[in-house]
Amino acid sequence: MILVIDCDLKQIKIRSFKEVHGSISASDHVKDMEEVRSDAALVKYIRDIAGRSRIRAVSFRILFGGDYFAGPAIIDSRFFTRFEKLTDLFPFYVPPISHMLKNFRAVFKDIPLIAFFETSFFLSLPDEEKYYAMPFKYSEDNKIKKWGFHGIFHSANADMLSVSSKGVSIVFDKQTTVCAVHNRKPLSVSLGYTPLEGVMSRTSCGDMDPGIVFYLMNVHNFSIYKIDEMLKNESGFVGLTGYNIGLNEMLKLRGKDAKVDLAFDIYRAQIMKYIGEGISVMGGLDDIIFSGSNVRLFTPIIYDVLKKISFLGLTVDNLPWAKDKDIITATSADSSIKTRINTMDLSDIIFRNSLSFLKK
Amino acid sequence: MKYKDCPVANILVLNCGSSSLKYKILRMPGGAELVRGEAERVGIKTKGPSLITHYVMGKKRIVEASLPDHSSALKKVLEMIACDAKKNKDIRFDAFAHRYVHPGTFFTKSVKVDRTVLNKLKETLPLAAIHNPISYGLIEFCHSEYARISQYVVFDTAFHKTIPPEFATYAMPQKVAKKYGIKKIGFHGISHRYVMEEACKFLNKDRTQQKIISCHLGTGGSSVCAIDYGKSINSSMGFTPLEGLMMNTRCGDIDPGAVFYIMFKESFSSEEAESILNNKSGILGMFSSSSDLRDVIGGIDKDKQAKVTFDMYVRRVRAYIGFYTLILKKADILIFTDSLGVGSSLLRRSICRNMRFLGPDIDEKRNTQYKDGIYEISSPASETKILVIPTDEEIMIAREAYKESARI
């Protein structure tokens, strides 16, 4: 049995993969972090999931690996030395996650624990994409640069491309990210140093004129905390429409509510900005791949984006697209730019990556 | 009414930069230039002296003067013009026309100045902390010292009033955005509009049938504009001129989260952080020894930091060309203008490299051959015509003011 663990500060999601008669069966387990706050409770929870099966490995999705992790890593003492150096950059995340991983390490002494990072894929971003045009000493001292995000999805999408292909990979998750891939390496990415930059989300703003921040602070006396809170938690779809609802409900209001329509138009424009950037950086486009936990939900948006850029050489199939496969093709065979939708779940990708990691 | 039937009016155009004052007396409606000049190093300390380069009917004169601020520069210029007028009765002006950078959402077209207009302009001062107070100072000066001469204000933003909501709206709470008038406003509109008109004249095309991407790349500010059938539909600059491309000392696009982090880590006030991102970032921030891209280009072969800085500048222009190509569904014309856009063939070549997929295909020979005036530098096979066009904001400002004066 292999366990894939995806946890943030609120929730722990575990998918267990078990081989039964030569095929893999997966099952999901979700708990609030509060319930497994104590080390003993967490260990009991894991043992309950495993039952009598032997755990071959436990893999973790880790949100941030800084400069230290250019790929998956075995969680051992060397791992902790490096991971804990990232506390300064991600102070709310690194200490509790590190504590939890140490607990795992102490209990499951003989089992390989593997960390997969959302940022590793982007360590090879070219310098001209990585840095912001601010005084270089601030970027150096504070490690302010684009770290990127959704590297596990983008990297899986990159692996679906032929080596020479110029591809754009788009992930619909809580955040939406767009990444240009050539030679299976990232050349650009929309999400930057924090999740604020790039494409808007349910509550975050996406691209924003920094002059607005200063205007609100200097002229209208907003505090930095008020603006930070506003741009993170009160902007995006919720800020534009005034409706504090989920994206699935938001999607249902498309075509019925002018504010919702405008919000989706802005969202599409932000996605197109990064597709356009990617194409110009690569000097062409052969493939587009969409993925992420919301990718099925966002089919109408994907269709909309593809229609807008179809003049580039896309022959987009009419909706509905086939639903039953892991990989859905959205353009017809004669389309000069091939478009696919990778519906694989993040945990399934990490499971697959774990198997190949263990082979090595 | 044909030009020859229109009344003649000489318009003194004043175009302020942060440390310069460009001026021209143009005889409208034809646009003949009687006087032109530029006061340089106004209000700043530099090694060189402040000076005014002044041309009367093409004859050049350079005057050194102490120019502690823009009003003193204008006073000196007006003295020089008065002096010229004694020798040549044609040298006179009937109206002032000012370029004004950021009127917020108060004005969307050129206006004649009166007390009400002045009061409204005063409210816009914080919107462009460098440019607005300078221009406002001059407008007020002219209003009190030359009360009998009409004054017009032409806005750098007016051309962009057609940007549709999907590109003009920031994804922030709309109650805050509406309360404070926050949306994409866009700048360099006078220049983008001028080069659009010149491009269409040059190619003999109707501007209402052309899709244009205009790159105004200056040694100060830079911006890209998407023009759809004669109307601006997007600009890389936003609510303020800080957004968009990397500029001489401005950061351009940046993660606002990075701004918060720096303020927090370095204990900067918002004024300090704003000043850093406006005055110490961009090319200067990356390259540190100069804010001029031409100096960066000079060091590109031996200095790694010069190479990264240049590549960053180029990438960001390319990114906007890519985006605007998608929203225009391919451009008919790509324009390079202003000092860097016109002055650097290497910059144009680097921006257009490998762009054919999106339309533009540069002819390298024509690109390096470029000397002056309007010139096409695309290959015959290029789907998008690439043009180099020196901008002339002053004639555009004079045209607007003249049109406005005819209205009254």
Name all domains of chain A by residue range, CATH numbers in brackets: 2-117 (3.30.420.40), 151-346 (3.30.420.40)
User: Do B71 and B33 meet the contact criterion of CB atoms below 8 Å apart?
Assistant: no
Establish whether B292 is a catalytic residue. no
Total CB pairs under 8 A between chain A and B: 235
In this complex, is the C-beta atom of B286 within 8 Å of any C-beta atom belonging to chain A?
yes
pLDDT (0 to 100) of residue B392: 94
Stretch(es) of chain B classified as CATH 3.30.420.40? 3-159, 189-388
pLDDT along chain B (408 residues), means of 10: 70 90 95 94 75 93 91 94 94 95 89 95 86 94 94 95 98 96 95 97 97 95 97 97 95 95 91 93 93 93 95 98 98 97 97 97 98 97 98 95 83
Match domain B3-159 to its CATH number in 3.50.50.60, 3.30.420.40, 1.10.10.10, 2.60.120.200.
3.30.420.40
Of A129, A192, A312, the CB nearest to B255: A192
Q: Would you say residue A38 has pLDDT above 70?
A: yes
Backbone dihedral angles phi then psi of residue B216, each to the nearest 5 degrees: -95, 100
Q: Do B171 and A219 touch (CB under 8 A)?
A: no
Exposure string over B130-159, b if 16+ CB within 10 A, otherwise e: bbbebbbbbbebbbeeeeeebbbbbbbbbb
- What is the rounded CA–CA span in Å between residue A28 and residue A65? 26
| % of chain A residues with pLDDT over 90 | 85
- Collapsing DSSP to helix, strand or coil, B78 comes out as helix
Give buried/exposed letters for A286-320 (b at 16+ CB in 10 A, else e).
Answer: bbbbbbbebbeebbebbbbbbebbbebebebbeee
CA of residue A201 relative to chain centroid, distance: 12
DSSP conformational letter for B7 = P
Which of B270, B274, B284, B310 is the best substitution to test chain A (most A C-beta atoms within 10 A)?
B270
- A residues 264-293 near B, CB within 8 Å? 265-270, 272-273, 275-281, 283-285
Could you report the per-residue pLDDT of A131-153, keeping only the tens digit for each? 999 998 888 888 899 999 999 99
d(CA B374, CA A102): 68
pLDDT at B40: 87
Please report the sign of the dihedral spanned by the C-alpha atoms of residue B194, residue B200, residue B201, residue B203.
positive
Return the pLDDT at B46.
Answer: 62
pLDDT of A37 higher than 90: no
Q: In the prediction, which pLDDT does B190 show?
A: 96
Which residue among A212, A278, A312 places its CB closest to the CB of B182?
A212
For residues A15 and A357, give the distance between their C-alpha atoms in angstroms, rounded to a whole number.
Answer: 18
Handedness of CA A134, A138, A139, A144 (dihedral sign): negative
B288 touches chain A (CB under 8 A): yes
User: DSSP string covering A30-91, please?
Assistant: EEEGGGG-SHHHHHHHHHHHHTTSPP-EEEEEES--TTT-SS-EE-SHHHHHHHHTTTTTST
Predicted local distance difference test score (pLDDT) of residue B1: 47
Amino acid, single-letter form, for residue A270: Q
Dihedral sign for Cα B321, B234, B194, B24, please: negative
The residue-averaged pLDDT of A17-43 equals 89
Distance, in angstroms, between B160 CA and closest chain A CA?
A: 16
Q: Quick one: tokens of B366?
A: 């024509």
Instruction: Pick the residue of B176, B223, B249, B332 with the most A CBs within 10 A to test the interface with A by mutation.
Output: B176
- Per-window interface: B 76-115 vs A, CB < 8 A: none
Confidence of residue A126 (pLDDT cuts 50, 70, 90): very high
Could you tell me the pTM of the whole model? 0.94
pLDDT at position A122 over 50 = yes
The span from the CA of A231 to the CA of A201, in Å, is 10
Partners of B170 on chain A (C-beta within 8 Å) are 205, 208-209, 212
pLDDT score for A320 = 87
CA distance from start to end of chain A: 18
Whether residue B331 lies within 8 A of chain A, CB to CB, comes out as: no
Q: Considering only residues 141 to 160 of chain A, which have any Cβ-Cβ distance to chain B shorter than 8 Å?
A: 142, 144, 146
Domain B189-388 coded CATH 3.40.50.920: no
Does residue B239 belong to the interface with chain A, where contact is any CB pair within 8 Å?
yes
Whole-number pLDDT of residue A143: 87
